[in-house]
Structure 1
Amino acid sequence: MHRFIIVGGGAGGLELATRLGDRFGTTDSKTAPRAQVTLVDRNPTHIWKPLLHEVAAGSMDPFTQELEYAAQALWHGFEFQQGELIALDRASKRITIGALRDDEAGELLPERELEYDTLVIAIGSTTHYFGVEGAQENAIALDTVGQAELFRKRLIAACMRAEHYAPEPVAAGVDDDGENVDPVPRIQVAIVGAGATGVELSAELRNTAQVFSAYGLHKLDPKHDIGIVLIEAGPRILPALQERVSNATAELLTKLGVKLLTGETVAQVTRDSIRTASGKIIRADLTVWAAGIKAPAILGKLDLPTNRLGQLVVRRTLQTEADENIFALGDCAACPWPGNERNVPPRAQAAHQQASFLFKSFERMLQGKPLPEYTYRDFGSLVSLGHYSAVGNLMGGLIGGNMLIEGLFARFIYMSLYRLHVAALHGYARMVLDTVAHWLRRSTAPRVKLH
């Protein structure tokens, strides 16, 4: 049997493993499998990464949305191996997975080696701190469920403490020199990076502050006592999107009471403040770092060509330049985008497209046919502003231009993206049932996790 190994159970990797397992593996004892499909990931569960800002804000309980890899493997005819990729031997077509350890039980699984015929690397990206002093030590990233949950718990603790121990807020007014003075909130959350993650988190946090107050966790004014400041080094928020989308989003965030600081590069992060390159000192009881991403460091140790961001350089077939038996997809792949100066952007829609593309490519490969070339189709970009709204440009690559959408329609389209991901993993019937179950949970529980 042909041996497929997929390293990384993100949106693209898990969808590819599921489709390959359904097509070539088997869960029926009467049918012999045509290929052996193995998924490798360091975590036991999967969650759609664009949802992590909702986990951080408490508006989504991760335990109701996580999918266990072992269960998905049983249902869809592939094998799951938990562990982290630590080495690659291209000559013998073998990867090494590190030992799995537990803080209390010690080593659960030893270091292992797996042999492959076709290897797919889909390990995503990690937070890029750009060498900023104190950023990694004092700011919270949103790469994992654990980090998102840590931020949520610290936010609740900060709100509860501030009610009794924080000084009274300074009201807005005019100082002795006639300059306007902004109000100083009792709690201030600073978000570094005004890309999609930073913008979406800032909107979700405003709703979270209101819910905390409504349920009596604190008696602070949710808008004036809890400040949210969004810091961006570029001249505008959402720099990767069209300017009109950026402007519309900035207007909505300002109405929500989110303070926007653009053109400010962060030079230092401490436990309670941020210093910018221009000399500004910004108070920060909690700091979230969402300023950029980079490829995981392991990619630079695999003896495969990488670009300056550490991504694996791939051809349009998604094969790595140095080895035709190794493919890469998603954020960790530097894939050419014909007609554009830059590569395919690191978006969930790109990973989804590449997973579907590779599934069809592998069908052709097993039939002895040549591999096709991948072309990215840009369906536009959407940014969620919580239950308040959503904004974005739709169908950009299909109609030759961009249509600005916002409001409830944009919110519906944004929510549909996740539902399509669920459908890719479970089929449309189970997706509908999952949607109904999610709605029932939301109708009988607080809209924000309170503990």
Structure 2
Amino acid sequence: MTVHPRLEASAALYKQRVRASDVLPNAPVNPDKRKTQIVVVGGGAGGLELVRKLGAKFGRKKHDIILVDKNLSHIWKPLLHEVAAGSLDANLDEVGYRGHCHRWGYRFFQGSLEAIDREAKTIRLAPVLDDQGDEMVGSHTMRYDYLVLAVGSVSNDFGVPGVTEHCLYLDSRKQADKFRTRLLNHCLRVSRAMMADPEADEKVSVAIVGGGATGVELAAELYNAAAALRHYGLEVFDESRLEVTLLEAGERILPALPERLSNAATHELQTLGVEVWTETQVVEAKKWGLITADGNDIEADLMVWAAGVKGADFLSGLGLETNRNNQVIVTETMQSVTDPNIFALGDCASYTPAGETRPVPPRAQAAHQMADTVFDNICRIMKGKPLRSFTYRDQGSLVSLSRFSTVGSLMGNLVGGAMAVEGRMARFIYTSLYRMHLIGIHGWLKGLGLMLIGRVNRIVRPKLKLH
């Protein structure tokens, strides 16, 4: 691969600065005066909240808190279905790591984890490439005293043929933007066809595999967006030109919720126009659509795979004990069972409480609680105190059907998730979850300010992002 001379010189200067800042293990630093270096890989909800707390707690005097992420900004993953439908402008809600790290006293490095040398206590980061595939920063190593893995999860295709080639995922903002662009292109195609021939029966068909929260919320959000397109240049396009099919392999959608709420969500989706197919297993994806186990062919312009999550494949090659879903197995203190100097939290971690048969579910609330435990335990290590065990407190599940409805259950630990909520109360609680996320990564003052700005943006900004 040819590297531009200017980029090569910039990379060399970057590496010199990295060595001078005591990131690389061969930095000429007096070991007695070396800062305690805590490296967090992954800037999702749990990782970003953790580095904020660590930076605010320890500062830069005797500690070096470093966040590593392959992206330059963070967006709350439960919002990606709104980004995909165009209902949310991610530019307004994303958090730039470089500005955030300056505010909270940690450092940010762009990169992807490639390997861990546990004996030398270093990690190796893959080269950083530009959008044309040219190398901007070469592969380099970074030392750590304590390492935290918070890289989240990716969609699990369960080895179904054709999914990787023909289906879209909603694991990142880039993928959500890709879906939105393709969706708008198909809507424009149908709109132009209808203008040329008003009698034409043109429609945009979307097939969503997976009846969990992501699939259900995306299905409802698509109808919300389609209803608004007529006001933004597509005069002859509306929700009647949209066909959405939701496929679930289980007996019902939203299996984490009580059956009554699952049935209520199914009814709401069907009222909107969504075809809900349960007990339907997809066995192959083609360019034109999906093939089910019972032999049905489902043609679709767009196909979204949201049937499950797993840890990224590289996690199983780091030398740490992982499960079949590539999640790092951790103890009750959130430390890897392989190495006590390495912690893991969020969707990439697997922890099964004593007496339980199933691990803690991969939810945003679990990542938040795990981040609290990791922060507390790192502080305890610094003070030489015994570590605290993680206790998962199930606060229930909420699913938003866009502006149409919200359903969920609360206080799972206390009443077995039996406290069902619907309507405005559920919507208020659902919105509060995002507000608590803002406070978790920004603190109370800026978090409250961003809430106010968000309310103003909903009034003055367009309802859809169309570019």
TM-score when normalising by structure 1 = 0.92
Query: What's 1:397 paired with?
Result: 413
8 Å Cα contact 1:159-1:218 kept in structure 2: no
* Cross-structure match for 2:13: none
Percent identical pairs in the alignment equals 47
Q: CA 1:170–1:391 in 2, change beyond 3 Å: closer, same or farther?
A: farther
Residue 370 of structure 1: CA displacement?
Answer: 1.3
- The equivalent residue for 1:251 is 267
Distance 1:448 1:421, change over 3 A: same
* Structure 2 CA distance for partners of 1:168 and 1:332, relative to 1, 3 Å: farther
Give the match for residue 334 of structure 2: 318
**Aligned equivalent of 1:181:** none
Post-superposition Cα deviations, 1:387-406, rounded to whole Å, max 9, x if no partner, equal 11210001121345521101
Residue equivalent to 1:152: 180
Separation of aligned partners in 2, 1:371 and 1:243? 39
Partner Cα separation in structure 2 for residue 399 and residue 273 of structure 1: 42
Kept in 1, the 8 Å contact 2:334–2:373? The answer is no
Pairing partner for 1:4 from 22, 38, 41: 38
Q: Deviations over 1:199-250 (max 9, x none)?
A: 0000100001100123331413423x21111011111101233322211211
> Are 2:398 and 1:382 aligned?
yes
Give the Cα separation in 1 of the matches to 2:55 and 2:199: 60
Map residues 114-193 of structure 1 onto 2, 5 A cutoff.
114-165=142-193, 186-193=203-210
Q: Please tell me the residue identity of whatever aligns with 1:448.
A: L
CA contact 2:409–2:417 (8 Å) conserved in 1: no
Equivalent position of 2:427 in the other structure: 411
Structure 1 residues 324 and 443: alpha-carbon distance in aligned structure 2, compared to 1, 3 A threshold: same
User: Hey, what's the Cα distance between the residues in 2 that align with 1:221 and 1:141?
Assistant: 25
Counterpart selection for 1:291 from 296, 307, 313? 307
The ranges of structure 1 where at least 4 consecutive aligned residues each deviate by more than 4 angstroms after the TM superposition are 166-171
Alignment match, 2:278: 262
RMSD, aligned CA: 1.8
1:23 CA displacement: 0.2
Q: Equivalents in 2 of 1:253, 1:170: separation in Å? A: 27
Q: Work out the CA distance in 1 between the residues paired with 2:349 and 2:327.
A: 5
Q: Which runs of 5 or more structure 2 residues have no equivalent in the other structure?
A: 1-34
How far did residue 440 of structure 1 move? 1.4
Contact residue 21 and residue 78 of structure 1 kept, 8 A: yes
CA distance 1:401–1:86, shift in 2 (3 Å): closer
Q: Which amino acid aligns with 1:229?
A: T
SS in structure 1 at match of 2:463: coil
- Rounded to whole Å, the distance in 1 between the matches of 2:359 and 2:394 is 12
Shift of 1:362: 1.2
Q: SS at 1:324's partner residue? A: coil
Structure 2 SS opposite 1:151: helix
Q: Which is further off, 184-193 or 416-425? A: 184-193
Count of aligned pairs between the two proteins: 432
Corresponding position of 1:441: 457
Q: Residues 23-69 of structure 1, C-alpha deviation per residue, up to 9 Å, x if partnerless?
A: 0114xxxxxx2321111111111111111000001010011111111
Question: Structure 2 vs 1, CA of residues 136 and 110 (structure 1 numbering), >3 Å: closer, same or farther?
Answer: same
CA distance in 1, matches of 2:44, 2:148: 12
Q: Secondary structure at the match of 1:320?
A: coil
Q: Does 1:84 align with 2:112?
A: yes
Instruction: Tell me the amino acid that sits aligned with residue 266 of structure 2.
Output: A
Distance 1:326 1:438, change over 3 A: same
Bigger share in helix:
2
Are the counterparts in 1 of residues 70 and 112 from structure 2 also a CA contact under 8 Å?
yes
After TM superposition, the structure 1 stretch with the greater mean CA deviation from structure 2, 332-341 or 13-22, is: 332-341
Confirm or deny that 1:13 pairs with 2:30: no
CA 97–360 in structure 1, closer or farther in 2 if over 3 Å, else same:
same
Q: Which stretches in structure 1 are left out of the alignment for 5+ residues?
A: 27-32, 172-183
Structure 1 residue matching 2:314: 3-state secondary structure: helix
- 1:370 aligns to 2:386 (yes or no): yes
C-alpha displacement of 1:105: 8.0
For 1:309 and 1:427, how far apart are their aligned partners in 2?
34
SS state at 2:341 partner: strand
**TM-score when scaled to structure 2?**
0.89
